[in-house]
Structure 1
Amino acid sequence: MKKILIYTAGALLIAGSYGCKKFLNQVPDDRLTFDQMYQKKATVDQALANVYSTLPDQNQDRSASASGNIGPWTAASDEADYTLPNFTENVNSGAWDATSGQVNYHWQSYYRGIQAASSFMANVTKCTDCNIGGIDIVNRYYNEARALRAIYYYYLVRQYGPVVLLGNDPIASDAPLAEISKPRNSMDECIDYIVSELEAASQRLPATPQANEDYGHITASVADAYKIKALLTAARPLFNGNTDYANLKNQDGKQLINQTYNVAKWTRLATAAKAFLNNPNYSGYALYTVTATPSGLPNTAFNRAFIATRDVFLNGWNSEVIFGRGGDVTFYQYSLAPNHSGASGGDKGGSFLSPSQQLVDAFFTANGLPIESDPTYSANGTSSYQAPDPNDQGVSRNISNMYVNREPRFYADITYSGRKWINPSSNIVTSFEFNGNAGKSAIANNDYTKTGYTSRKHLTVAGWTSGRTIFTVIRLAEIYLDYIEALQESNPSDPDILIYLNRIRTRAGIPVYGNGGLPVPTNMRDAIRRERRVELAFELDRYFYTREWKIAETTDTQIRGLNITQNAPGFFTPVVTENRVFQKKHYLWPIPSGEIQKVPVIVQNTGW
């Protein structure tokens, strides 16, 4: 097992990236002294890899745990459910509290990462061979660690709300408790610190990867993208004038979440996002598109959009990817592949990740309209339809009308009954009906879909055993959506709203709003939110924005799916597959009770 060097504070908050390039695979030699660790570039690289190791690993999404520092974000939102038992079941049933292990390890892990970053920054200047060929590697590594420290604070506040800012110096392992016992900072103080640190690091980092070995490192564009994410969290209703937290105060009466709505927070976000989009050093970023389709698939605009929205996640470090992480994707992809009876290898998976009917219904029609607004849409009956799969052309399959004439992103993201399996070498047509080849009838364990669907997004075309280069963490489409949300809340007449919203829709292969296309929506806020839900599905976004928008009390009370205990036609009747518990206190995670016991000046979140 790899040994990971962790610098601990031993008391407050510090209980006792991987980026696809080789330096992030290294680990420190535990026979070196602390000073020796920082004398040579080879071991400095290993120490930096340790700082990156706290970044959450979406490849471990199906088994939320300390391994990979990943939370229950996908299946604890209304996007999906996991058939495979994990901590999401505790979250969805309300069976968790401040003593839960998951609550504790996220808190501790991010603070370990913060402490590791501070220790690295304090010692990297000791390196004697780090400046090679005139490149100031010490300065670059220092600012990568500085940005990572701010990023870990961002992940903390997104999950727990206001936290304790430890300062810029590493905490000595033998520091007395009284010296490091600190109360929580306010949310505004946390965001200002995160933003200022990311800005300072950004100014001293290369704008984008300059060489192959730079991919997976924090660059200026990555730091700026995280700054936008932090400002977005701060501007949304959960932390912007939320009177539900009127009593969330430190023991001295200090208010931790501001009680007055401030539109300037949206303006600040819009300014940061626009600066990113207008930065000439970032001009190489563009929405991923294709000019031609694979052999056998007609080269139509619809089919090009399907390939683009599918392959943006499969085609490595493409023009849209701002930041990504590598790692073993097989466990994640196994969750996506249906458990096809009699199949083998990459064609027979676990059917674990089960998209909700709510998500299926959220995708637009091919006409670019919500299903409830398109008179051509019907959820009843069946039709013969040709899906845009390169391995299934010339065959019209009889499928539910729910899946006929939907937008390209729907076909890129969802596997439904009657769909040709993704592997071009396979002849399987997936059926999730009770007696179907991936139905519950013949499956004795949990390897079946709960909702009658599996996710297709992020899955390589050869099946789950085939690898991928990276898991996309931040891409340009997200920056577009952040920008237009900020404009809608601060300056709704700004023409950039339609410009950038329509860029996403154009790439998605659906009609634009205005300009001779569809009428401009009267409720633009809703239109932006609908677009975000579809565009960023299964990208660890939905859990947080339903909470930051304060709508989770409505969205997160149940999961709907198809009736997997029946064959057609009863199978295609949507039913409630899971009732869930969501209370106001669940908008934030509780501070771990162990931390409060050690440091009583830390106050608990409201309701916990």
Structure 2
Amino acid sequence: MKKIFIYTVGTLLLVGNYGCKKFLDQVPDDRLTFEQQYQRKSTVDQALANVYSTLPEQNQDRSASASGNAGPWTAASDEADYTLPNFTESINTGAWDATSSQVNYHWQNYYRGIQAASTFMANVNKCTDCNIGGIDIVNRYFNEAKALRAIYYYYLIRQYGPVVLLGNDPTQSDAPLEAISKPRNSMDECVDYVVSELNAAAAGLPATPQANEDYGHITASVADAYKIKTLLTAARPLFNGNTDYAALRNTDGKQLISQTASSAKWTRLAKAAKAFLENPGYSSYALYNVSATPSGLPNTAFNRAFIATRDVFLNGWNSEIIFARGGDVTFYQYSLAPNHNGASGGDKGGSFLSPSQQLVDAFFTANGLPIENDPTYTANGTSSYQAPDPNDQNTPRMISNMFVNREPRFYSSITYSGRKWINPQSNIVTDFTNSGNAGKGAIANNDYTKTGYTSRKHLTVAGWTSGRSVFTTIRLAEIYLDYIEALQESNPSDPDILIYLNRIRTRAGIPPYGSGTGALPIPADMREAIRRERRVELAFEWDRYFYTREWKIAETTDTQIKGLNIAQNAPGFFTPVVVENRVFQKKHYLWPIPNGEIQKVPLIVQNTGW
């Protein structure tokens, strides 16, 4: 591990402390020293930006790489597959191990971020012009870095399980190997540390952004949201009494994952989530809704729900977004746009991100029922149907009954064969059948969908070439789902379960559960109902990969991907087939600790099965 820390500090001095290329281009007599770079706010801002730079850029998930610290989460889950080759293929075939470069770069990147945060915290008080107009910028920046350090630990434990806690002081580049050779802490110790640090940081931060320049910075609400995410990971079965990890012990015999399931962990999570939802400082957060539809689209409840669930990701920093990241999204959006034959610009993409048939089938019907429970649903045949697209009214067309009378979130998330393309200036109707305008038959490379669908969620209405201001990281609906899951596991009779679950369903334009007029009967299996709601609401938000593992169901869910028969034209095209068989073993619930780290620090024990 010594190599990691030396490299981290070296990188910080060469990149973080000098901020950008112009500093590297300076002649030696004009170069800022380490001390000087913390004296002025302009260079302190650059150092803080370096701390933020470790946050993963999931808008690059089609090509996970060290540069954006992006993970392969979407297509390594049962949500989707990427036609374009990337590291998800290694995960899905089981062809990866502790020596894989992607395994190593996540580990190293997050520890570099932790080291950068600790270094920043130790030096930011040297700034001589940071407190302007009575605003304590030093204290605020200190707590942003403290929160970021805890967030990086959260990302580590979610991926690797219990890790090594380094302490609060930055590691010196000349520290002897013995001083930095530490064993892994237990999962409970890691969680308690992250929660404590986020609590402390939140106490020194504004509740929500106070000015335009605050958006994208850590606030108290962001810190609390990450605390909830951490407690959720800790409460779920993967880390809460998982006897599969009975042998996961340090060399001194210390148990790293508790072998006793604790309902108190669910209660702790429920209290944290409720405190967030009842915090008067966070009252500005609300589920995103619209009061009217765009011109040309009838102003019905169904259509308003479609626009709301589409535009919550497109309408900047709206009331639902707790945390988001900026950056270029065209690379990601190109993956969503079908490769329409003969089209150009934003109308012709790569068709790379291919939603699974399992996900398509998870969306409810317009009646708010699972497709298997709705007698009006059929997957056979076709019907004349009008999708709720503003640019496609008064032109119903024949489409597969699989896509008829589905809930609004289905139409805001999935592009299917027979759907009008999203660009209002386009006349394209997407056809994924083999000989269709986006079908595999006329495409010689990998620019086709493997499942007969592409994702529509996150895509701007003008097509993939049009940018948007932010890429959502955490939003209020996720906090609702975390809260009701915690209540279901700790106090299933709590009325808040239905209250918050129904808020999500009502915004989604489907009937609530309960006994009122128009309500559906309360599901007998509420745990499964909550999980299904989560799958649909948070589709393509990099959640599914982790929660199938944290629920310990990935051995069932992650063994194959189904889709439509893209080698056929209609009607054979609409017959679901197995697109890809996948390898999932028990050891895959956690990533391995990089082999190089264990070789350098033998006190670090490897995860079970690796």
TM-score normalised by the chain length of structure 1 = 0.96
Partner of 1:348: 348
Equivalent-residue separation in structure 1 for 2:397 and 2:555 (angstroms): 39
Task: Kindly report which structure 2 residues correspond to 1:478-493, keeping only aligned pairs within 5 A, or say none.
Answer: 478-493=478-493
Partner of 2:5: 9
**C-alpha contact (below 8 Å) 1:28/1:37 kept by paired residues:** no
Partner of 1:301: 301
Pair 1:447–1:370, CA change in 2 (3 A): same
**C-alpha contact (below 8 Å) 2:351/2:454 kept by paired residues:** yes
Instruction: State the shift of 1:29 in Å.
Output: 2.8
Partner of 2:570: 568
Matched, 1:410 2:406: no
Instruction: State the shift of 1:116 in Å.
Output: 0.1
Partner of 2:554: 552
SS in 2 for 1:131: coil
Runs of 4+ in 1 over 3 A off after TM superposition: 13-16, 25-28
Matched, 1:185 2:185: yes
Partner of 2:594: 592
Instruction: State the shift of 1:178 in Å.
Output: 0.9
* 1:519-572 deviation digits (Å, cap 9, x = unpaired): 000100000000000000000000000000000000000000000000000000
Partner of 1:21: none
Instruction: State the shift of 1:584 in Å.
Output: 0.1
Pair 1:214–1:581, CA change in 2 (3 A): same
Query: What is the aligned length?
Result: 593
**C-alpha contact (below 8 Å) 2:408/2:508 kept by paired residues:** yes
Equivalent-residue separation in structure 1 for 2:176 and 2:60 (angstroms): 36
* 1:568-592 deviation digits (Å, cap 9, x = unpaired): 0000000000000000000000000
Instruction: State the shift of 1:28 in Å.
Output: 7.9
Partner of 1:22: none
Partner of 2:23: 29
When the two chains are superposed, the root-mean-square deviation of aligned CA atoms in Å is 1.2
SS in 1 for 2:322: strand
Partner of 1:602: 604
Structure 1: gaps spanning 5 or more residues: 1-6, 17-24
**C-alpha contact (below 8 Å) 2:9/2:172 kept by paired residues:** no
SS in 2 for 1:34: coil
Equivalent-residue separation in structure 2 for 1:554 and 1:570 (angstroms): 27
Equivalent-residue separation in structure 2 for 1:442 and 1:433 (angstroms): 11
156-165 vs 62-71, which moves further: 62-71
Equivalent-residue separation in structure 2 for 1:148 and 1:230 (angstroms): 13
Partner of 1:523: 525
**Amino acid aligned to 1:521:** P
Matched, 1:198 2:198: yes
SS in 1 for 2:474: strand
Equivalent-residue separation in structure 2 for 1:443 and 1:67 (angstroms): 31
Equivalent-residue separation in structure 1 for 2:57 and 2:410 (angstroms): 25
SS in 1 for 2:579: strand
SS in 2 for 1:576: strand
Task: Kindly report which structure 2 residues correspond to 1:234-245, keeping only aligned pairs within 5 A, or say none.
Answer: 234-245=234-245
Instruction: State the shift of 1:174 in Å.
Output: 1.0
Instruction: State the shift of 1:9 in Å.
Output: 2.0
Equivalent-residue separation in structure 1 for 2:203 and 2:22 (angstroms): 29
Instruction: State the shift of 1:515 in Å.
Output: 3.4
Pair 1:26–1:294, CA change in 2 (3 A): farther
Partner of 1:499: 499
SS in 1 for 2:361: helix
TM-score normalised by the chain length of structure 2 = 0.96
Matched, 1:69 2:44: no
Equivalent-residue separation in structure 2 for 1:78 and 1:421 (angstroms): 25
Instruction: State the shift of 1:27 in Å.
Output: 7.0
Equivalent-residue separation in structure 2 for 1:29 and 1:207 (angstroms): 35
**Amino acid aligned to 2:5:** A
* 1:389-411 deviation digits (Å, cap 9, x = unpaired): 00000010100000000000000
**Amino acid aligned to 1:295:** S
* 1:36-79 deviation digits (Å, cap 9, x = unpaired): 11010000000000000000001111101112101110000000
Partner of 2:16: none
Equivalent-residue separation in structure 1 for 2:466 and 2:20 (angstroms): 24
SS in 2 for 1:323: strand
**Amino acid aligned to 1:230:** T
Equivalent-residue separation in structure 1 for 2:21 and 2:125 (angstroms): 20
Partner of 1:3: none
Task: Kindly report which structure 2 residues correspond to 1:139-154, keeping only aligned pairs within 5 A, or say none.
Answer: 139-154=139-154
Task: Kindly report which structure 2 residues correspond to 1:134-533, keeping only aligned pairs within 5 A, or say none.
Answer: 134-516=134-516, 517-533=519-535
The percentage of counterpart residues that share the same residue type is 85
